[in-house]
Structure 1
Amino acid sequence: MAENWDDRPDVVRSVLEWRAEQERRLPARPTPGHSRSNGNGNDHAPLLPLTDVATFASQPEPEREFLDGAQLFPIRNVVLLMGDGGTGKSLLALQLAIACTTASPWLGIEVASGPVLYLSAEEEEDEMHRRVKAICRAEDIEVERIFGLSLIPMAGQDAVLAFEGKPNRLEVTALYRSLEVTLQALSPMVLMLDNLADVFAGNENNRALAKHFVGVLRHLAIKYDCTIILLAHPSLSGLASGSGMSGSTAWSNSVRARLHLHRPDGADDDDSDARILEVKKANYGPTGQRYHLRWVQGRFVRKEATNPWDRISTSDPDRVRDLFRSTQFRANELSDNWGGYAVADLLGLDIGRGIPAKQRTAEQNRLRNDVRTYLAGWVRNKAIYVIGGLGPDRKPTQFYSANPEEETG
């Protein structure tokens, strides 16, 4: 049982007095970047920038952001999309790029809308042109509707962004610097690099180099507020084991998410168009999901793809608005009072409430993704709103609401 410190004022007073004494003994904290002599030969070394954790108490908890409703692509991070040659990972990535720049779903998954920059060292512009047209025909998208998708075709050219200079250390190239200037100018939401073997001139089995290169890309992702999707081929051992790994384990350990596109085990010639997109790693979301795909008319589609909106009746948005009008539900999925749970209860869906992400079933994860899709769609269409307010603890948070300007708390 936790100690009730209100009943022990002597202990509290002693702790506070001790802390005050320690603070008096500490030297004044210099400004970050300020150097001072310490007698250890580091007279010109600046103090590292520090964050005082106590300041978090007065700040709202930042919500984790994703590019998509299935939480596959965390924003400001590097994601590996692995796949053997000829499986279609470049096509799948291009489908995602078109979805983001046309406000369309990707494999039935809602994605954020924004500009995309796609650097391809594998395909010429003509091939990219053909693929874009094929995807748009199959998805009934007008090409002129694509807003903000910029291609950098570099097939047959030197596309290296970093190479090993000194042992175990990378040096960036002039192309990397030009890429950074381009990111600054275009502010894309997504940067796609196709693929690792072309943009990284180093030993993929070298742990230090692999970690350094991912760190170089993460710097860009954070600085320019984007998701970087790095396409890569698995090694022979990665293919044999089904892990989809390539080179050193540092590649998988350093990125925040890793997806593997592969053919189904035992697939025969009659099933040559079938693929599985498997979530092999997700630091911030559920893992283990398997999306069964099929190549149809120049693009991939979900095999089991029943449209999640098919189960929504015309009266359901009104029922949800009535619910959000009468009761406060949080917009943060990590909250026990998440609005998605209320929607799931209303629709009779089991999305694994109270069950840790790694213990939920594939069906629960699929239905949970459907609920995310509904909420995102209703917010986008202004059927419901996300508003700011104060929670029961008087801390700033966000809630779902039926009204756009309602204040809570």
Structure 2
Amino acid sequence: MTVAPRDFADEIGDSAIVAAIHSAKPVRLVRASPYSWRDPATIPPRPWVYGRWFLRGTVACVVAPGGSGKSTMLAGTALALASGQDFLGKKVWEGPKRVWLWNLEDDMDELSRSIQAAAIHHDLTPDDVAGRLFVDSGMEGAGLCTAVETDGQFRLLEPIYEALTAEIERRRIDVLIVDPFVSSHEVEENANSKIDKIAKAWGRVAKAANCVVVLVHHTSKAGSADVTAMSARGAVALINAARSTLVLNRMTDEQAQELGITPEQRGRYVSVADDKHNRAPAEKADWYELIGVDLGNAVDHRPGDSIAVAAPWTLPDPFDDVTVEHLEQVKTLIDSGEWRESPQSPQWAGYAVAKVLGLNADSKSDKGRIKSLLRQWVSNGALKVDRREDKSRQVRPYIVVGRRADA
């Protein structure tokens, strides 16, 4: 059976077709642009503001679990930027910056404690930050909401973004820190498409106002023990939209043991790394020690406050004070007996190391350091692992002298 062709002009009318044609949007020509070769020396360098962490015109994220020293780090960072001083180990490029710290979960008293404690520790005066530090608290009326969901309808509050851009430009703000991000909107935080729109709206603010927008974010429960960029709570769209993602990690028990740090001291040490693209190993991260600073605000019989302040800290090297002569003594001792690889064995090779270095192999802190030393010496060939039968004819790993003698 032959089907007659349909004549749409007859079905909907010539006038409707003509109207549809005239109302259609014009087609934009798509053309590829030839690349214009440039002298590399003429390309402007990236406009970094703070080390290689904050880049002007972009959004940065800070991801941290509760109790990791996040507020302490932010207070110190704000003061470093506003004073133009590199006391946290990051370069403040082209002099002091104007910083707006907008905290949505702490009151002004708490914010002031952190700021003033850091100022005491780093020996700052009001003149060092005069006119360059701006602080607002959501707990005291300075709330912030940039997006809402009403009756299931998502809506960016564009007038808020416009007002933010205008105020950043009016105050000539270089860095805006919003802490925490989750309190700056009223949208389901697991909705990727919506969080993506919010993050990109912040990106437009950063671009239009030529500033850095730092969005501080909490971790999920699953990410609280070992934080990476993917530990961020809710939608991954926020992390994907950010130029950099700084992650804060408290020192683990295993790290503390290897470094000879007691469990009581472990909580004082925090690492910060940019985890946007590649996870930084512990030794490549920036490490900070949280130091208690007395505010001197005791009243009558009420004690004053001791507030944590972040200070740069160098990761100890297990080989500090360990010489080639020490290694030769260890090798001599190893060569004269039967030494097991397992720390559970009473014949553990670590006891030989402890004897030479004057350490206590049964102490948690010294044991961790001894393990690090043995691991490195086996890695570089000074010692090696030899699997052989013990007296019970069980094959077990022993530590024996290797071929090379370098520490």
TM tier, shorter chain?
0.5 to 0.7
Match of 2:290 among 265, 286, 295: 295
Q: Name the counterpart of 2:137.
A: 153
Q: Name the counterpart of 1:65.
A: 47
Partner AA of 2:313 in structure 1? K
CA distance in 2, matches of 1:200, 1:120: 13
Q: Which moved further from structure 2: 262-271 or 125-134?
A: 262-271
CA distance in 1, matches of 2:310, 2:194: 34
Change (3 A) 1:264 1:174: same
Say whether the 8 Å CA contact 1:163–1:173 is kept in structure 2. no
Match of 2:85 among 83, 90, 104: 104
> RMSD across aligned C-alpha pairs, in angstroms?
3.1
Say whether the 8 Å CA contact 1:170–1:212 is kept in structure 2. no
CA distance in 2, matches of 1:48, 1:115: 43
Pair 1:125-2:108 in alignment:
yes
CA distance in 1, matches of 2:211, 2:128: 22
Q: Name the counterpart of 1:137.
A: 120
Change (3 A) 1:138 1:93: same
CA distance in 2, matches of 1:103, 1:51: 44
- 1:168-213 Cα deviation digits (max 9, x unpaired): 7432165544323211211211011011121021111111012111
CA distance in 2, matches of 1:58, 1:38: 50
Say whether the 8 Å CA contact 1:101–1:115 is kept in structure 2. yes
Q: CA deviation at 1:263?
A: 1.1
Q: CA deviation at 1:216?
A: 0.6
CA distance in 1, matches of 2:272, 2:124: 24
Q: Name the counterpart of 2:173.
A: 188
Change (3 A) 1:124 1:304: same
Stretches of structure 2 that go unaligned for 5 or more consecutive residues are 1-18, 257-262, 294-307, 317-407
Say whether the 8 Å CA contact 2:108–2:140 is kept in structure 1. no
CA distance in 2, matches of 1:48, 1:225: 31
Change (3 A) 1:126 1:174: farther
Partner AA of 1:190 in structure 2? V
Q: Name the counterpart of 1:265.
A: 252
CA distance in 2, matches of 1:245, 1:117: 23
Q: Name the counterpart of 2:233.
A: 246
Say whether the 8 Å CA contact 2:87–2:122 is kept in structure 1. no
SS where residue 270 of structure 2 aligns? strand
Q: Name the counterpart of 1:368.
A: none
Say whether the 8 Å CA contact 2:181–2:215 is kept in structure 1. yes
- How many residues of Structure 1 are paired with residues of Structure 2 in the alignment? 266
- 1:67-87 Cα deviation digits (max 9, x unpaired): 223x12222111110111222
CA distance in 2, matches of 1:123, 1:86: 14
Q: CA deviation at 1:299?
A: 1.1
SS where residue 67 of structure 1 aligns? strand
Change (3 A) 1:52 1:260: same
TM-score (norm 2): 0.58
Q: CA deviation at 1:269?
A: 3.4
Partner AA of 2:169 in structure 1? Q
Match of 2:182 among 194, 197, 201: 197
Residue pairs, 1:164-243, within 5 angstroms:
164-165=149-150, 169-172=154-157, 175-240=160-225, 242-243=227-228
Change (3 A) 1:247 1:44: same
Larger radius of gyration: 2
Change (3 A) 1:305 1:40: farther
SS where residue 63 of structure 1 aligns? coil
- 1:133-158 Cα deviation digits (max 9, x unpaired): 21111001112221311112221544
Q: Name the counterpart of 2:97.
A: 114
Pair 1:89-2:99 in alignment:
no
CA distance in 2, matches of 1:58, 1:258: 31
TM-score (norm 1): 0.58
- 1:346-383 Cα deviation digits (max 9, x unpaired): xxxxxxxxxxxxxxxxxxxxxxxxxxxxxxxxxxxxxx
Say whether the 8 Å CA contact 2:180–2:217 is kept in structure 1. yes
Match of 2:243 among 256, 259, 278: 256
SS where residue 101 of structure 1 aligns? helix
SS where residue 276 of structure 1 aligns? strand
Residue pairs, 1:357-396, within 5 angstroms:
none
SS where residue 246 of structure 1 aligns? coil
Change (3 A) 1:209 1:143: same
Q: CA deviation at 1:166?
A: 7.7
Partner AA of 1:238 in structure 2? G
Q: Name the counterpart of 2:272.
A: 277
SS where residue 299 of structure 1 aligns? strand
Pair 1:75-2:56 in alignment:
yes
- 1:209-266 Cα deviation digits (max 9, x unpaired): 1211110100000001011111110111222553232212222212111111121122
CA distance in 1, matches of 2:90, 2:32: 37
CA distance in 1, matches of 2:29, 2:66: 44
Q: CA deviation at 1:41?
A: 4.9
Say whether the 8 Å CA contact 1:194–1:230 is kept in structure 2. yes
CA distance in 2, matches of 1:149, 1:199: 21
Stretches of structure 1 that go unaligned for 5 or more consecutive residues are 1-36, 307-409
Partner AA of 1:263 in structure 2? R
SS where residue 281 of structure 1 aligns? coil
